[in-house]
Amino acid sequence: MGRNRRDRGSFPATCLGKRALDSYYCIVNLPGVPVRDICVIDARDDHAANQALAELSRAWVGFETLYLYQGERLVTVLGNPGLGFAEPMPDLPLAGVRFATAA
């Protein structure tokens, strides 16, 4: 066994559960600093996750954009009203994605 390989038994069982894979999380982008932070959001649906995202936007003063995901599904892109939206990432499917500006 290689030096960097781990036995499967050493990984926590929660990593394999569907709930862990479908969690909501937010990628925080600052001007000139993409993916500054990743925040996990405890929410049961898109509506609750968007409410939590709005609260998070008030805590991250100076953010450029906040990308809200559920698993691999992009849910919302929130832009800073003082900065506008950053250039979209290439090859990003945007159908069904909610775009908004923070309050």
This prediction has a pTM of 0.63
Average the pLDDT over 73-80 and give the result: 90
With CA atoms as reference, report the closest residue to 95 among 81, 80, 77, 79: 77
Residue 4 pLDDT? 40
Q: Is 50 exceeded by the pLDDT of residue 7?
A: no
Average the pLDDT over 45-70 and give the result: 92
Regarding predicted confidence, which is higher, 22 or 63?
63
Tokens for 17, please give them: 């559960």
Element (H, E) at 40: strand 33-41
Regarding predicted confidence, which is higher, 26 or 96?
26
Note every long-range contact of 65-69, with CB atoms under 8 Å and residues 24 or more positions apart, other chains counting.
65/29, 66/26, 66/27, 66/28, 66/29, 66/102, 67/26, 67/27, 67/29, 68/24, 68/25, 68/26, 68/41, 69/24, 69/25, 69/26, 69/27
Residue 62 pLDDT? 86
Average pLDDT, the chain: 75
For 51, residues 6+ apart whose C-beta sits below 8 A from its C-beta are: 43
Where does the pLDDT of residue 14 fall: very low under 50, low under 70, confident under 90, or very high at 90 and above? very low
Tell me, what DSSP letter sits at residue 20?
H
